[in-house]
Amino acid sequence: MLLRCRVPLASFELNIDVSFEARITSIFGPSGSGKTTLLDAIAGLRPVTAGEIAIDGTLLFSTGKGINLPARQRGIGYVPQEAALFPHLSVKQNILFGAGRGRRTDTPPEIQLAHLLEVLEIGGLLDRPVTKLSGGEAQRVALARAVLSRPQLLLLDEPLAALDIGLKERILPYLGRVRDEFKIPMIYVTHNLTEVLALADWVLMVQHGKLLAQGVPKEMLRSMTALEEISGDQIDNVFTATPLDSDPAGGTSRVRTTRGTELLIPCVSAAAKLPLQMRVGADEILLATEEPQGISASNVLRGAVSSIDFIGGEAMVTVVSGEEFLVRVTSSAVARLGLNAQSSVYLIIKARSFRLV
């Protein structure tokens, strides 16, 4: 995608010039940085002063060539923060409202609808008034409506922002299923790092209308520019894993990640969706230079430090132990342990530190 646009705002100008190609691109940054404005510009909902916007080589907007397709002709689906469902229509009527409005014609709408209802688990809601839906149900219905329009691009503007933490963790996997099942490119706006790491293949970091950094999420998080902006935020390691066995009496399950790392996590229900996606905070991992003995933590993994990045009194240590782990410690801890980019270390992680995403 080509995204080159200038949009004047009240206190600054949004000025972005970038091209990228990914299944899910996250636009990440604090509130008020211009993220939603950028989505609106792509969708044709916000006037652009100058620039070009193109999807797969097709121009949607170009000041130089005098092109400015109206929103209805851009073949774009949009899921805003609030579900924005039509209150006078049922769930089924809301979902079908967008059917056939997009540009993709490779899949019959009726087959896609059946598959969509199964993926998002909303088949039992079809006859319900949308005024009777929970926040999480409303977001899944809004997502279904956008996907059923068969867009060439799906825009999501902080779709989990209005949900509490428990609902966010239940809805996030549905976004992953849409990504994997329907192959629609997405641009996902968020200020939540866990959502970026769980969903995105590429991330654009935006601050005050400017592009600060871009790249693969974990690699971007190691850049000095990113560390300066997110030093106070929670940083999660997100992994995909398959259960190997469970010990309900002991309260744990043993899983293997996609790169072969075996971990003990809180016991997983037999009804859990597979494969699992789980997270552990960079602040919840301890480092040791010698193998610890007689401790309660279930996971002790031998690994090697691949990089150390400092910002102020903090350090982000990247450790490879099959998977790549980000560990945030103080700069004094790095000095006390004598760590460098060649150090052998042990990762110490409690089973209860892992959470399912």
Question: What average pLDDT score do residues 111-116 get?
Answer: 74
The DSSP annotation for 173-211 comes to HHHHHHHHHH---EEEEES-HHHHHHH-SEEEEEETTEE
The answer to whether residues 177 and 170 touch, using CB atoms and an 8 Å cutoff, is no
pLDDT tier, 325 (very low <50, low <70, confident <90, very high otherwise): very high
Question: DSSP assignment, residue 351?
Answer: G
The DSSP annotation for 50-98 comes to EEEEEETTEEEEETTTTEE--GGGS-EEEE-SS----TTSBHHHHHHHT
Flag whether pLDDT at 27 surpasses 90: yes
What is the percentage of the chain residues whose pLDDT exceeds 90?
59
Dist CA 327 CA 318 (whole Å): 6
The predicted structure's pLDDT at residue 271: 62
The DSSP element (H or E) to which 39 belongs, if any, is helix 35-43
Q: Nearest 10 degrees: CA dihedral of 341, 347, 349, 351? A: 120
Flag whether pLDDT at 144 surpasses 80: yes
Whole-prediction pTM: 0.77
Flag whether pLDDT at 111 surpasses 50: no
By DSSP bridging, strand 153-157 and strand 186-190 are: parallel
The predicted structure's pLDDT at residue 167: 65
pLDDT tier, 176 (very low <50, low <70, confident <90, very high otherwise): confident
The predicted structure's pLDDT at residue 187: 96
The predicted structure's pLDDT at residue 226: 66
Flag whether pLDDT at 249 surpasses 80: yes
Flag whether pLDDT at 232 surpasses 90: no
Flag whether pLDDT at 108 surpasses 50: no
Question: 275: cis peptide before it, omega within 30°?
Answer: yes
pLDDT tier, 115 (very low <50, low <70, confident <90, very high otherwise): confident
What is the percentage of the chain residues whose pLDDT exceeds 70?
89
Flag whether pLDDT at 24 surpasses 90: yes
Flag whether pLDDT at 64 surpasses 90: yes
Single-letter amino acid code for the residue at 127: D
The predicted structure's pLDDT at residue 231: 57
pLDDT tier, 104 (very low <50, low <70, confident <90, very high otherwise): very low
Single-letter amino acid code for the residue at 196: V
- Tens of pLDDT, residues 71-91: 999 999 999 887 789 999 999
- Tens of pLDDT, residues 251-292: 999 999 999 999 999 998 766 667 788 999 999 999 999 999
Total count of residues recorded for the chain:
357
Flag whether pLDDT at 171 surpasses 90: no
In the chain the domains, ranked by start, together with CATH numbers, are 2-223 (3.40.50.300), 236-356 (2.40.50.100)
Dist CA 129 CA 28 (whole Å): 34
Q: What is the mean pLDDT of the chain?
A: 88
